[in-house]
Amino acid sequence: MKFRSYIRLFAGVLLVTVSTSAIAQSYLENPKYGPDEESRKECAKNLSLYGTFYQQNNYKDAYKPWQNVIRICPAASINTYIRGVRLLKVRYEEVADPAQKKALVDSLMMIYDLRITHFDKKGMVLGQKAEDLFTLAPDRYEEAFNIAKEAISIEKANTNPSTLFAYVSIAKAMYDNKKLTADQVIELYSQVSDYIDAQVTANPSDDKVKQAKDGIDAIFAGMGVANCDNVIALFEPRFKATPEDVNLCKKIRSLMSANRCTSHPLYLNASIQIFKGEPNADLALDIARLQYEAKNAREAEKYYNEAINLESAVEKRANIYYELALLTFTELKNLPKAREIALKAIEENPNMGKAYKLIGDVYASERNCGSNDFEKKTVYWAAVDKYIKAKQVDPELTDAMDNLISTYSQYYPSKEDIFFYDLKVGDSYTVGCWINERTTVRDRK
């Protein structure tokens, strides 16, 4: 084994000699390899030496010539810094003395600073610097926090996902040590979540981005800072000051949704402002449901119609029609209109059993269809017809429909009433008024 090591070392030295000779002219004329000819030769030798050892994973022997490169020609190659991080981390793991470990962390921080000086990419490099500082020296969390904050202020939505994750992790340490308030943590998370969500949208198949988002959300949720009272107290005054700020409204909606504060008017109002600037079917539907829950029936109706107009998917549109029909029936009390809308849902989805069931409920609730008691009872024939149809198209509704059929068939006319009106069981019959449904005569059992 030793013989092979000597061979590799000899090959490395030979490579140094050959490389230095072959490209001496370019080295000697380029100031990035040193201030003078002698230092440039020394730079070339150490570059080749440490590079050879590094490629052999011989980090111990690579360390000294690498240090020489940093000292003699720090602008020679960006690889000096990329590889230097690895060399310092390996050395950090190998030493046990706390003072040595601290010195190596300081050296690592200096390497990141030198890289920025000579090769820029400040935002990205500062992000890596913050990550490593917090990992290797977690007691220096405040320093790491400020570095990460600067990195993100530069990179914004282009910040590396791992840096965004580290920033939230460090923020937890800051909060635990009373260096950040709950409001500041919420603000920070709001900013970071915007950036990571944008990356998820841009790269939906990137598992690293998804993992970073999941981690960020988990850390934030675990901190317990974002209760409804905190979010509302922080953002309601801002919303009142600038309600047209769509980005602010998105933050409000995201935070309130994550913390189940959706029943507060601020969530609804922020959603409406977002819709004004960026209308879409899903948001319109959400607003419609919120208005429904708030008993604002006319506003709910308006947004259900917006959702229908914006939705292109047939199945989704059928469900929106159904919800609008339900609203029209229960809140607006417009029975003919409710049936009309339910039929549109059935046009979109002929197997929507609940839409047939809704029409049956509408019929069963009608108390004024007919000029006498007999005619008013015939609406139950039409209602039961719809319940029968509902379970035909959706067998999962069978038990529920059978119960309704059993309930409402008790209100059928008696045999005597049927006979009195010159009808018999099994005859065809048209239910009057707006219902105008053709049905079959049945008697109460």
Cα 153–159–164 angle (5° rounding)? 90
Rounded-to-integer distance, Cα 374 and Cα 414, Å: 9
Rounded-to-integer distance, Cα 346 and Cα 353, Å: 8
Give residue for tokens 């469900």.
319
Neighbouring residues of 201: CB distance < 8 A, sequence distance ≥ 6: none
| pLDDT, tens only, 198-220 | 899 899 899 999 999 999 989 99
Q: Which two tokens stand for residue 17?
A: 């000699």
What pLDDT shows up at residue 55? 96
Q: Mean pLDDT throughout 308-319?
A: 97
What pLDDT shows up at residue 9? 44
Estimate the crossing angle of helix 79-94 against helix 37-55, to 10 degrees: 60
Q: Which two tokens stand for residue 34?
A: 């040193």
- Is-contact 111 85, C-beta < 8 A? yes
- Is-contact 120 159, C-beta < 8 A? no
Rounded-to-integer distance, Cα 375 and Cα 304, Å: 35
User: What torsion, rounded to 10 degrees, do the Cα atoms 149, 152, 154, 155 define?
Assistant: 170
What pLDDT shows up at residue 254? 85
- What does the radius of gyration of the chain's CA atoms come to, in whole angstroms? 37
- Is-contact 441 426, C-beta < 8 A? yes
What confidence category does residue 13 fall into, taking pLDDT thresholds of 50, 70 and 90?
Answer: very low
Q: Is 314 exposed, middle or buried (0-12, 13-18, 19+ CB in 10 A)?
A: exposed
Rounded-to-integer distance, Cα 340 and Cα 355, Å: 11
| % of the chain surpassing 70 pLDDT | 94
The CB density around residue 372, as the number of other CB atoms within 10 Å, is 9
Rounded-to-integer distance, Cα 26 and Cα 141, Å: 44
Question: With left for phi above 0 and alpha for psi between -120 and 50, is residue 156 left, alpha or beta?
Answer: left
Half-sphere exposure (CA, 13 Å, Cβ side) for 313? 7
Query: Has this prediction a pTM greater than 0.85?
Result: no
Please tell me whether residue 309 adopts helix, strand or coil conformation.
Answer: helix
Rounded-to-integer distance, Cα 385 and Cα 123, Å: 69
Give 3-state DSSP helix, strand, coil % of the chain, rounded to 5.
80, 0, 20
Is residue 380 scored above 90 in pLDDT? yes
Rounded-to-integer distance, Cα 301 and Cα 264, Å: 20
User: Which among 289, 295, 359 has a CA at the least distance from the CA of 324?
Assistant: 289
Q: Mean pLDDT throughout 423-431?
A: 96
Amino acid at 137: A
Q: Mean pLDDT throughout 89-101?
A: 97
Amino acid at 315: E
Cα 254–275–282 angle (5° rounding)? 70
| pLDDT, tens only, 394-418 | 999 999 999 999 999 999 999 999 9
Q: Mean pLDDT throughout 234-238?
A: 90
Question: Got the DSSP string for 344-386?
Answer: HHHHH-TT-HHHHHHHHHHHHH---SSSSHHHHHTHHHHHHHH
What pLDDT shows up at residue 25? 57
Is residue 150 scored above 80 in pLDDT? yes
Q: Which two tokens stand for residue 347?
A: 């046009």
Rounded-to-integer distance, Cα 1 and Cα 7, Å: 10
- The mean pLDDT of the chain is 92
